[in-house]
Chains A and B, each alone.
Chain A
Amino acid sequence: MLNLLAQLLKALNSESAPGQIALAVAFALWMALTPMWTVNNLLLFTLVLMLRVNLSAFFAALAGFSLLALAIDPISQRLGASLLQMTSLQDTWTALYQHGFWRVLQFNNTLMLGGSVIALLAFLPVSMLVRLLVVQYRARLLRWIQKLKIVQALKASKFYQWYQAAVE
């Protein structure tokens, strides 16, 4: 929990652009809503590593969204199943199924498809919302938060310093 909080504070208080944090949260949402150990998530993680998105924010959001996914999974699964069984989309799915690349991405898994669709639909709104929140936070709450004793204690801890050094 401390780890999560430290990551969040690190991200919010860093010099990172709000867009980097917003993109990290959106990618985290995508990764959290789909089955974890898949090629799809490996590619996503590779993308996260290669792009200058904020990693602290990414890991913090991934942990948070993974908890959220437990509640959303049944909806994702039903959505995926209904999409895969939709008559009008059968030709599309069948065409995708003929290519190994798409099958490796497991588009024909109900949870993968449903989770991906929800994550993609939410990608842009989440990015924009997070960006807005970060900007507002830095403008209005940053100074007040940094004065809090708990934050100062946290930032003074060895763990935070070690983590900061490691990430930077």
Chain B
Amino acid sequence: MTKWIRWWGLLAVAAVVALIAAVVLLLAGPAVEKSIETLGTKINGALVEVDSVTVSINPLGLEIKGIAVTDRRHPMENAVEIGQARAQLELLPLLAGHIIIEDLALTEVAFDTERSVSGALPERQSSDNAVAEAAADEDAVTNQFSASVPSLEQVLERQSLATDKAGRELRQLVEQRKPEVEQRIAQLPDEQQLQQYEQQVNALINGKIESLEDFQRKKAQLDELKQQLRRDREAVVAVRDLIRDSRDELTARLQQLRAAPAQDLAMLKQQYSLDGQGAVNLSRLLWGDEVGQWGSEALYWYQRLQPYLQQGAELAKNRTAAEDSAAAAPEPVRISGQTVHFPTADPWPEFLVRQLSLTAQLPQGRLLLSGSDLTPEPALMPQPARLTLTTEGLPQVASVTADLVLDHRRTPGRDTLTLTVRGWQLSDWQLHSQLDLASAVIDADGLAVVADGRLTAQLDAQFNQAQFQGEADNRAGKEMLAVLAQIDQFNLDAAVAGTLADPELELGSDLDRRLQQAVGERLRQQQAELQQRFNRHLNQKISGYTDGLAGDIDFFNLQDEQLAATGEQLQQLAQQQLDDYVEQQRRRAEEKAQKKVDEKTDELKRKAEDKLKSLFN
């Protein structure tokens, strides 16, 4: 049997294995360091630096020291700085080309640390632009929230009032149509021109016709003049139509303007929660900015994370597509085959962190983050990725637990964040320029779900041992402060719904109800006053738009009347006829014959009279 074994071959294999191990020990560290810096910088959009990487064979793993991840928005700060990261790798998957990290422990983690040099990317066309872009992104996200918390003045200034719109449209119509009518009227015949037409017509009709040629010449002139008169009359009719249309539109726009204040009032009532119960949405005014900022920050980081979550779904999709089209795809020189996966409790994606632990000592206390099953190929995993954040030793908070489940095993993915805060001792929270929540102990429970691009979130916070402080310089404010001083317990509910690009924040609190009960009458008075202010404001706007409108309408009416007379005159002139030449000659011959007959009759009559006279004489 041993004659089949080549002993030097065995030694050669051992030598090769030893050589590979030596190469890995010497070169893998710098290679990994370079990879982390290059890939990390590309993903982060700002510098990612690593001090050193050490590779160990038994157990197989990496020890990375000094990871600094620049904050893309603030290049002179590190978003995260990790003192030490230890990763324990699995050998078998690594042999098959899969990086499976059994355990990744990050210690000495710090956030928002200062950098000695800027971490902005030098090769970018303009790093400032990148920073500005990042800041703009953040502003855009912030605005999504803050825009939903307007003040009274902001609404009047920023809201698109229907009254304004209708008024502008009315003025625009007048300004557009009036010059148009004036321009068209200027092209019509004036009084002098009409007189000239009349003289020309009379001259042609009443003048003596000398011959047939003279008649025909005059008739042609008259026909030409009539055509001109018809054209002028048609132009008059067209201008009258324009005037009529303008007047109709003006009337319609005026009606719209008159109806607009009612719409605006309804909108303003809704904005200020003056409808229905006459409630004032105090919670929104007091906490809207604060909750909006929290939401903005959370949304910003989620949107930074989202491309990588989607990338996993894309990878899974691409893999399926590649498998489906394996037979149809053009084949390379040496094909590499397709990998088919089977159900297992121990999948091997290309990259996987089975367990993650992070410990950060912040000035406020200790932060512990644990994670599991973090991979860009979630479709292969039997369970979703999970991140859990807890705190220890925070002086102002008894406990905070945030549990984030990133489930992208199927499309669409579903991300769920569960937040629990207990015993948060709050102090000096400025709610308003003249109102502070001096102290309170908060217990809060929150749940946020993002599924198929839609965000649904609910936060319920219970405020205990609350103490309000404030100053008021009017009666209403003093009344409100007196009521608040008696309240030591209340709740606050925040709900966010909508798409990620356009979330809508709603805030509610039983503080509203309690304040309503306490100062209900005062609120109703305020409501009435506010409505009167709105009405005055809108009436002023209407007056501004309708000033001089009566004169404009009179202008159209007057022009219409004048044009009616002009049209009538032109029509009469156009109806004048030149007698036919033959008829005229016949009439003249008849007149001549009649004259002769009359003369003959007179002569015979005279003769008969003379005869009779001679008979009787």
Contact B346 A98 (CB under 8 A): yes
Partner pick for A100 among B6, B92, B334, CB 8 A cutoff: B92
Q: Mark A78-112, 1 if CB is under 8 A from B, else 0.
A: 10110011000010011001101101101011111
Contact B337 A39 (CB under 8 A): no
Contacts of A64 in B (CB 8 A): none
Contact A97 B344 (CB under 8 A): yes
**Dominant secondary structure of chain A at its interface with chain B:** helix
Query: Is A151 close to B, CB under 8 A?
Result: no
Contact B340 A85 (CB under 8 A): yes
The residue of chain B having its C-beta at the shortest distance from the C-beta of A74 within the complex is: B331
Query: Is B446 close to A, CB under 8 A?
Result: no
How far apart are the CA atoms of A51 and B346 in the complex, in Å? 35
Contact A39 B327 (CB under 8 A): no
Q: Which of A58-75 contact B (CB under 8 A)?
A: 69-70, 73-74
Check A94/B338 contact, CB under 8 A, given A49-B12, A51-B4, A106-B96.
no
Check A108/B6 contact, CB under 8 A, given A35-B336, A70-B334.
no
Query: Is A13 close to B, CB under 8 A?
Result: no
How far apart are the CA atoms of A126 and B349 in the complex, in Å? 38
Contacts of A51 in B (CB 8 A): 4-6, 9
Contact B92 A104 (CB under 8 A): yes
Contact A46 B13 (CB under 8 A): yes
Query: Is B95 close to A, CB under 8 A?
Result: yes
Query: Is A41 close to B, CB under 8 A?
Result: no
Q: Which of B319-346 contact A (CB under 8 A)?
A: 326-327, 331, 333-346
How far apart are the CA atoms of A93 and B340 in the complex, in Å? 10
Contacts of B338 in A (CB 8 A): 77, 81, 109-111
Contact B339 A109 (CB under 8 A): yes
Contacts of B92 in A (CB 8 A): 100-101, 103-104
Contacts of A85 in B (CB 8 A): 340
Contact B327 A78 (CB under 8 A): yes
Contacts of B344 in A (CB 8 A): 94, 97-98
Check A110/B340 contact, CB under 8 A, given A70-B334, A81-B326.
yes
**Dominant secondary structure of chain B at its interface with chain A:** loop
How far apart are the CA atoms of A21 and B333 in the complex, in Å? 29
Contact A80 B337 (CB under 8 A): yes
Contact B4 A52 (CB under 8 A): yes
Contacts of B3 in A (CB 8 A): 52
With both chains docked as a complex, state the minimum distance between the C-beta of A21 and any C-beta of chain B, in angstroms: 14
Contacts of B331 in A (CB 8 A): 73-74
Query: Is A50 close to B, CB under 8 A?
Result: yes
Contact B334 A69 (CB under 8 A): yes
How far apart are the CA atoms of A76 and B295 in the complex, in Å? 55
How far apart are the CA atoms of A8 and B326 in the complex, in Å? 37
With both chains docked as a complex, state the minimum distance between the C-beta of B3 and any C-beta of chain A, in angstroms: 7
Q: Mark A104-130, 1 if CB is under 8 A from B, else 0.
A: 101011111010000000000000000
The residue of chain A having its C-beta at the shortest distance from the C-beta of B335 within the complex is: A73
Partner pick for A50 among B9, B96, B341, CB 8 A cutoff: B9
With both chains docked as a complex, state the minimum distance between the C-beta of A75 and any C-beta of chain B, in angstroms: 11
Contact A108 B339 (CB under 8 A): yes
Contacts of B335 in A (CB 8 A): 73-74, 77, 111
Contacts of A36 in B (CB 8 A): 334
How far apart are the CA atoms of A141 and B336 in the complex, in Å? 40
How far apart are the CA atoms of A26 and B10 in the complex, in Å? 20
Q: Mark B337-365, 1 if CB is under 8 A from A, else 0.
A: 11111111110100000000000000000
Query: Is B93 close to A, CB under 8 A?
Result: yes
Contacts of B95 in A (CB 8 A): 39, 104
Q: Mark B72-96, 1 if CB is under 8 A from A, else 0.
A: 0000000000000000001011011
Residue of A36, A50, A85 with most partner-chain B CB within 10 A: A50
Contacts of A111 in B (CB 8 A): 335-338
Contact A77 B4 (CB under 8 A): no
Contacts of B9 in A (CB 8 A): 48-51
Contact B337 A110 (CB under 8 A): yes
The residue of chain B having its C-beta at the shortest distance from the C-beta of A109 within the complex is: B337
Check A93/B342 contact, CB under 8 A, given A35-B336, A39-B96, A69-B334.
yes
Assuming A50-B6, A52-B6, what are 15 further A-B pairs, CB within 8 angstroms? Answer: A36-B334, A51-B4, A73-B331, A73-B334, A74-B335, A77-B326, A81-B327, A93-B342, A97-B344, A98-B344, A103-B92, A104-B96, A106-B339, A108-B342, A109-B336
Enumerate chain A interface residues (CB-CB to B < 8 A): 35-36, 39, 46, 48-52, 69-70, 73-74, 77-78, 80-81, 84-85, 90, 93-94, 97-98, 100-101, 103-104, 106, 108-112, 114
Enumerate chain B interface residues (CB-CB to A < 8 A): 3-6, 9-10, 12-13, 90, 92-93, 95-96, 326-327, 331, 333-346, 348
Q: Mind listing 6 A-B residue pairs with CB under 8 Å?
A: A51-B6, A73-B335, A100-B93, A104-B92, A109-B336, A111-B337
